[in-house]
Amino acid sequence: MLSLRCLEAIEAVRQHKAFFASKVAAMVLEAYLKGGKRLVGEKASPHELTPRERQIVQLLAEGKSNKEVASALEISLHTVVTHRSNIMHKLEAHSVSELARYAIRNNLVSA
């Protein structure tokens, strides 16, 4: 005989609805409550940038070009461009000057 949870799962699938086991639902809720995702328009905090992203922001804020950052960190130019794109997206920044302001406000560089 099928349990009530199994019957609920079958009915949800039959109606093309999502069904999560209670453990999965609890994990999703816990991650959400711990801030697993920012609200739209909410900027990343410094700890949400990876250590490498913080290094790149620091070097860009100091006026280094992508090529100079790549050389300083001994990584490819393409990798720097990818990191920079990810950083700009996370911070909702649209220019290097915005990255510089972010770096100053978050003590990644001094003014």
| Percent over 90 (pLDDT), the chain | 35
Is 100 within the bounds of a domain? yes
Domain range enclosing 52: 46-105
pLDDT tens, residue by residue, 69-101: 999 999 999 999 999 999 999 998 888 888 888
CATH number of the domain within which 69 lies: 1.10.10.10
Instruction: With beta carbons less than 8 A apart as the criterion, state whether 109 and 103 touch.
Output: yes
Whether residues 28 and 57 fall in one domain: no
Is 111:105 a contact under the CB 8 Å cutoff? no
The structure's pTM equals 0.58
DSSP state of 48: G
Decide if 110 is inside a domain: no
- Residue 41 within any structural domain of the chain: no
Cβ-contact 99, 61 below 8 angstroms: yes
Alpha-carbon distance 77 to 110, whole Å? 26
111 located within any domain = no
State whether 87 and 52 are in the same domain.
yes
Both tokens of 104, joined, read 């100053």
DSSP, res 37: S
pLDDT(36) > 80: no
pLDDT of 41: 41
CB 99 within 8 A of CB 54: no
Please check whether residue 83 lies inside any domain of the structure.
yes
Query: What is the C-alpha to C-alpha distance for residues 57 and 60, in angstroms, rounded to an integer?
Result: 5
For residue 27, the Cα-to-chain-centroid distance in whole angstroms is: 19
